[in-house]
């Protein structure tokens, strides 16, 4: 629990604040049936209590929703039993879902977090359709916003990412479901104080204390440091910035949409637009054509509008300088810069794996039981070993790009990867397909089929080992 002093310890204030949030932002209609996502934690339990108090006044018909991800063994099942008992005691209708998160993660090649989110919201959307409601209340609060702000900055984001969560947004699944967050301007400390004053029971998720998870490290180390040494009101300052950016982003979005809809004669040519608006037009056009944009892709399209950029083996695109629309060219071509990326978290000691293009990559973390360096680990094709502390808490998978530098094991300094490829006589068409793993410090840790990094090798001080395995998903690749 946060040690900050609660700004508003009065339980009545919190009830009034949430009522004002819902009414002032038109989050719920009178007499509306609504789902409440209840994990059993303090955030969702306080939200449930507040809505339960306000429901008679506004005629709301709450339905409890709980999803068991089966990721924490008995603890997950105990959370389910807890929420079911709360529903029974309060005579509230409850729907409980189950899913195999690890199986979905493996089959789709996505992270455990993303797989859990996908299963959870697909289930919520299914229940909402069956019970005829279109909104689900979530317990996200101001601390969540601040943690997300720093998390996205460290991972890399744009203005839209910094805006954070909104009072209401579309669910991340194909449906009419809306996600509503009535606690978004309330601190976690106030929620805990409210629960203690009203003797509201709640569960504590043990995974929230794991320092292998980047968000937890931000919560437990970075934010207390900022509050104690730099700015006690960091929550207020960050959320104020988010509000300002969100307002500007909405304006930017409207201008972009109006420009795209207006006729050629009525609008300024794309090439004469401000750079920020050009970026937004390109991004929106890419998304409309089901192409996931990133900074490098947008930058290349913007800087070389007359040149085609290859986005896969048979699709090339460029920007029309007059209209800002994408121009496609489909053909089989030679080597190209593949800009696809995928993040992974090194936050679990369990085996994890994902697919990235043509590779199946598996990783596992183990204690260093070898009293020596990497040289005593038996060399095996498709397997490498790294010092976990040097690798960090997350990696970015991507392909080689011009200018990459890498310090192979045994080398005294980094060299250009292109030079290494030339010395190893790797064909040009093959090097464009090679996958590299980059740390959060922008150091290349691993290059597919090439020696490991000198900076990340196992040494005498290594405590935990990252075991890294890979193989082609297509044996002929």
| Assigned token pair, 434 | 């090679």
pLDDT tens, position by position, for the chain (477 residues)? Answer: 334 444 455 778 899 999 999 999 999 999 999 999 999 999 999 999 999 999 999 999 999 999 999 988 899 999 999 999 999 999 999 999 999 988 887 777 677 888 889 999 999 999 999 999 999 999 999 999 999 999 888 877 777 778 888 899 988 888 889 999 999 999 999 999 999 999 999 998 887 777 777 788 889 899 999 999 999 999 999 999 988 888 888 888 888 888 777 766 656 787 888 888 888 888 888 877 777 777 777 888 887 777 777 666 567 788 877 777 778 776 554 455 566 778 888 866 666 777 777 778 888 888 877 554 444 455 577 888 888 888 888 888 888 877 788 888 888 888 888 888 888 888 877 777 788 899 888 889 989 888 788 888 888 888 888 888 888 765 434
pLDDT for res 193: 94
pLDDT at 82: 96
> Residues 38, 67: contact at Cβ < 8 Å?
no
DSSP at 466: E
Residue in the block written with tokens 């601040």: 146
Positions of CATH 3.40.50.620 in the chain: 11-208
pLDDT in tens, 340-350: 778 888 866 66
pTM above 0.85, yes or no: no
pLDDT value of residue 224: 93
Percent of the chain with pLDDT over 70: 89
Q: Which two tokens stand for residue 71?
A: 């990721």
Helix (H) or strand (E) holding 181: none
Top CATH class of 11-208 equals alpha beta
Of 125, 138, 126, nearest in space to 183 by CA: 138
Which one-letter DSSP state was computed for residue 222? Answer: I
Q: What is the dihedral of CA 70, 74, 80, 81, to 10 degrees?
A: 160
| CA–CA gap between residue 341 and residue 443 (Å, rounded) | 15
Strand 359-367 versus strand 352-356 pairing type: antiparallel
Query: In this structure, what are the phi and psi dihedrals at residue 256, rounded to the nearest 5 degrees?
Result: -60, -45
CB atoms under 10 Å from CB of 449, counted, come to: 14
What are the pLDDT digits (tens) for 439-470?
888 889 989 888 788 888 888 888 888 888 88
Say what the pLDDT of residue 268 is. Answer: 77
pLDDT digits (tens, 9 = 90+) for 230-249: 999 999 999 999 888 888 88
Specify whether the CB–CB gap between 182 and 33 falls below 8 A: no
What is the maximal distance between C-alpha atoms in the chain? 75
Residue 154: both structure tokens together: 């460290």
3-state secondary structure 126-177: HHHHHHCCCEEECCCCHHHHHHHHHHHHHHCCCHHHHCCCCCEEECCCCCCC
DSSP state of 378: P
pLDDT value for 375: 46
Strand partners, 365: 466
| 208 Rama class: left (phi>0) / alpha (psi -120 to 50) / beta | alpha
Rounded to 5°, angle at Cα 280 from 170 and 234:
65
- The token pair at 13 is 């204030």
DSSP β-ladder status, 178-180 and 405-406: unpaired
């Amino acid at each position: 629990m946060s040690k900050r002093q609660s700004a508003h310890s009065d339980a009545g204030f919190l009830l009034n604040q949430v009522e004002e949030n819902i009414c002032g932002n038109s989050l719920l209609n009178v007499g509306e049936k609504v789902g409440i996502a209840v994990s059993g934690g303090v955030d969702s339990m306080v939200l449930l209590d507040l809505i339960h108090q306000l429901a008679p006044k506004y005629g709301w018909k709450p339905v409890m929703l709980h999803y068991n991800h089966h990721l924490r063994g008995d603890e997950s099942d105990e959370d389910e039993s807890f929420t079911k008992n709360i529903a029974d005691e309060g005579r509230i209708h409850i729907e409980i879902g189950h899913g195999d998160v690890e199986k979905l993660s493996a089959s789709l090649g996505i992270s455990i977090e993303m797989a859990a989110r996908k299963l959870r919201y697909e289930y919520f959307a299914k229940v909402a359709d069956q019970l005829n409601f279109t909104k689900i209340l979530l317990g996200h609060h101001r601390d969540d916003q601040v943690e997300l702000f720093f998390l996205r900055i460290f991972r890399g984001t744009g203005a839209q990412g910094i805006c954070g969560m909104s009072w209401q947004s579309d669910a991340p699944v194909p449906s009419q479901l809306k996600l509503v967050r009535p606690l978004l301007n309330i601190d976690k400390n106030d929620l805990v104080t409210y629960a203690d004053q009203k003797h509201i029971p709640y569960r504590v998720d043990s995974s929230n204390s794991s320092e292998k998870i980047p968000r937890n490290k931000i919560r437990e180390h970075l934010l207390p440091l900022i509050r104690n040494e730099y700015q006690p009101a960091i929550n207020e300052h960050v959320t104020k910035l988010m509000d300002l950016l969100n307002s500007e982003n909405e304006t930017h979005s409207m201008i972009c949409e109006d420009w795209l809809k207006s006729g050629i004669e009525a609008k300024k040519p794309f090439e004469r637009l401000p750079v920020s608006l050009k970026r937004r037009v390109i991004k929106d056009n890419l998304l409309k054509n089901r192409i996931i944009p990133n900074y490098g892709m947008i930058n290349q399209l913007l800087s070389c509008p007359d040149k085609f950029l290859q986005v896969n083996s048979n699709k090339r695109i460029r920007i029309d300088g007059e209209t800002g629309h994408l121009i496609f060219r489909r053909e089989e071509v030679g080597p190209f810069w593949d800009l696809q990326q995928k993040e992974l978290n090194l936050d679990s000691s369990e085996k994890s794996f994902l697919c990235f293009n043509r590779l199946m990559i598996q990783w596992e973390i183990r204690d260093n039981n070898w009293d020596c360096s990497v040289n005593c680990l038996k060399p095996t094709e498709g397997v490498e070993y790294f010092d976990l502390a040097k690798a960090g808490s997350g990696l970015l998978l991507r392909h080689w790009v011009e200018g990459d530098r890498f310090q192979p094991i045994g080398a005294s300094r980094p060299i250009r990867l292109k030079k290494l490829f030339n010395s190893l006589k790797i064909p040009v068409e093959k090097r464009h397909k090679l996958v590299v793993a980059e740390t959060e410090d922008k150091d290349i840790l691993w290059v597919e089929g090439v020696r490991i990094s000198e900076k990340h090798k196992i040494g005498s001080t290594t405590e935990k080992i990252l075991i890294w395995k890979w193989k082609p998903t297509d044996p002929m690749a």
